[in-house]
Amino acid sequence: MPSLWHIFGAMSPTARRLLWRWAPLVPIAAVLVWHSLQFDFVTDDAYISFVYSRNLAEHGQLAFNLGHPVEGYTNFLWTVILAGGMVLGVPPEIASRVLGTGFGVATLVVVFRLTERLVDPAASRPGAEPRCPACGWAYLPPALLACSSGFACWSSGGLETQLFTFLVAFAIDGYVAADQPGGERRLPRVGVALALAAMTRPEGLLITALIVAHRLGLNMARDRRWLPRAVDWLTLGSFLTLWAPWFAWRWAYYGWPFPNTYYVKAAGHTTARYDHELHQAGLYYVEQWLRQTRLLWASPVAVLGLLWARPRQPRFAFTSLAALILPVYLAYVVSVGGDFMGLHRFIMPLFVLAAIAVVLGLERLASLLHPAQLRPFAAATVAAIVLGLFAWTQARLTHASLHPAPGKFADHGIDTPAYLIAYTENRAAIGRAMAGCFTDDDFSIVGGAGAQPYLGHMRGIDVFGLVSERIAHEVAPGRPRPGHNKWGPDPLLAEHDPDFVFHCYAIHSKPTIAPLGCGAFWRAPARGFEQRTIEVPGLVGEREGRDDDGGPGPAKYYTFLVKRDRAFACPGLVP
């Protein structure tokens, strides 16, 4: 049997070059897969999309409640992909995690190619020999991303985060490649990638607008051209060919130009105090990203990497575009208050830009060393030190995110992954336990609209209005927390004539519990609701590891409100 060395020796020179070029990405990808598996969860918000995916796969309706389409998701392409998996028999709980990690790995490949274009434009051409040490710098950004707690966390989680990040990175890579001699033919593909990104996340439109503005500015700076080129029109056409029909369909289908979640977060009269608190939350979110990713300390190097390029240099297209996207995107994040989920999933595409910018800065600093013979050794040393220190900080962050200290389950309204996992596991356990307890006519009011409705096969709306058109459009914002900005008032919720009220609840360790501290409106004689308790296997305490009754656990019981005249029978019901 031939040895690996003999197999390698029998390869053609081109095959050996490809092997040497791509082989280092294998352990980097393995690190990301391993890191992602440390989280290995599906967050409650992902289950909202799962409900839509199931209804599309089984009934042909992109609706939360069949027959009443409300756009309570912001990830159309992801939802449709998962629906396709369900048609093929693949549960979305599995497909979302596999695809999330897969798109994370694909992003590492794109980031490598993009960095390679920047540090050695000739290296990515077919048959070219990469220069060293320039070729080595291209592996550092994907390695940094693989070690990043945020990038790994949201390669899991069940959301569209890494699909969106991949599409944005792919579009930017194509845009940079198109700026090289003979590369303009790639621009129409950039339009397709941006259209798919805009169909995956609303922020895809922001990225598209910034790339269009950058392209117009680049034409002006270099060639004094006011009008777009023919290839620019072709690129815009490729974008609109995909995006415009989809946008027209969703407006006609749902009746509104923007997703229901936009109206939850942005519609309605606000006060100056509310706006101030919302922006403060957004500023804190950005500050945490800078601190936890160590960009706060690495930013001078990143700025150096972005500024050290002239308009005629190959890397200028990237550095100037990144210098445009980063501040505008961060300003947008501040304006909407950031996000309530920890580890920065809301700004994941910026991880890519920041990692490349830092490496470009390090590469420029290394190029200043004299004599030149020291540069390869210095580059390897600096890269190893930076990667080692960053990996150490992120290992600590991952552990702290999954095993927070008492009282650290949330930080200024930003939930840790540990809390997100516990919250979702409880709703999933409740949904499974109650899956056979509902009739087709039952209607529920819930807090989280994800795992509990999905696994319990429940009809209903959430009190935050994500899947409620009325709450989104009729209720004014009152809570400066993204996704939780509105709260449906009891009289409005009562107009739905619900049979169950689940947003007033308790999870506890004893079979009996004192009256809930909420729900007086529903327990009034006119409403006719009463407390009921069921035993639910697999519950965990959500509040600093303890249950609502103050007991140390294990949590076993779930108390909620149900109509008194509803003949309610369910396994585990406490008399």
Over residues 534-554, the pLDDT tens digits come to: 999 888 766 544 455 555 556
Averaged over 431-452, what is the pLDDT? Answer: 93
Is the pLDDT assigned to residue 382 strictly greater than 90? no
For residue 145, the number of C-alpha atoms closer than 13 Å in the C-beta half-sphere is 38
Burial class, 398, CB count within 10 angstroms (exposed 0-12 / middle 13-18 / buried 19+): buried
pLDDT at 408: 76
- pLDDT at position 544 is 44
Q: What span, in angstroms and rounded, lies between the C-alpha atoms of 169 and 164?
A: 9
pLDDT of residue 284: 96
User: What phi and psi, each to the nearest 5 degrees, are found at residue 157?
Assistant: 90, -20
Say if residue 97's pLDDT is above 50.
Answer: yes
Dump pLDDT digits (tens) for 404-436.
887 778 888 899 999 999 999 999 999 999 998
Domain boundaries, the chain: 4-402, 415-563
Could you tell me how far CA 33 lies from the centroid of its own chain?
17
**What stretch of H or E contains 168?**
helix 161-178
Mean pLDDT to the nearest integer, 298-317: 87
Tell me the mean pLDDT in the region 34-53. Answer: 97
> Is the per-residue pLDDT at 125 higher than 90?
no
Q: With a cut of 60, say whether residue 253 has pLDDT above it.
A: yes
Residue 171's pLDDT band, with cuts at 50, 70 and 90, is very high
Q: Compare 333 and 126 and report the one with higher pLDDT.
A: 333
DSSP 3-state assignment of 445? strand
Q: What gap in Å lies between CA 441 and CA 445, rounded to an integer?
A: 14
Q: Report the mean per-residue pLDDT for the chain.
A: 89
Q: Give the model confidence (pLDDT) of 256-298 as tens digits.
A: 999 999 999 877 788 899 999 999 999 999 999 999 999 999 9
At 176 the pLDDT is 92
pTM score of the predicted model: 0.94
pLDDT in the model for residue 366: 82
- CA atoms of 283 and 308, how far apart (whole Å): 28
Q: Indicate the pLDDT class of residue 496, thresholds 50, 70 and 90.
A: very high
What's the confidence (pLDDT) of residue 133?
43
Place of tokens 């993009």: 114
Q: What's CA 173's distance to the chain center, in Å?
A: 20
* pLDDT at residue 69 in the model: 95
The pair of three-digit structure tokens given for residue 138, joined into one six-digit string: 């291209």
pLDDT at 545: 42
Q: Which of 13-22, 171-180, 317-326 has the highest mean pLDDT?
A: 317-326
Evaluated on CA atoms 257, 332, 340, 155, the torsion sign reads positive
Q: For residue 388, is pLDDT > 90? A: yes
Instruction: Tell the burial category of 283 from Cβ atoms under 10 Å away from its Cβ (0-12, 13-18, 19+).
Output: middle
- DSSP per position, 29-94: HHHHHHHHHHH--B-HHHHHHHHHHHHHHHHS---SBTTB-----S-HHHHHHHHHHHHTT--HHH
pLDDT digits (tens, 9 = 90+) for 463-483: 999 999 999 999 999 888 888
Nearest to 279 by CA among 218, 365, 337: 337
CA dist 540 and 556 (Å) reads 8
User: pLDDT confidence of 135, banded at 50, 70, 90?
Assistant: low
Residue 357 has pLDDT above 80, yes or no: yes
Is the pLDDT at 190 greater than 90? The verdict is yes
| C-beta separation of 425 from 538 below 8 A | yes
Tokens of 517: 């501290």
pLDDT value of residue 14: 63
Q: pLDDT band at residue 158, thresholds of 50, 70 and 90?
A: very high
Question: Over the stretch 71-87, which tens digit does the pLDDT of each residue have?
Answer: 999 999 999 999 999 99
Q: Does 42 score more than 70 pLDDT?
A: yes
Euclidean distance between CA atoms 335 and 282, whole angstroms: 7
**So what's the pLDDT on residue 485?**
92
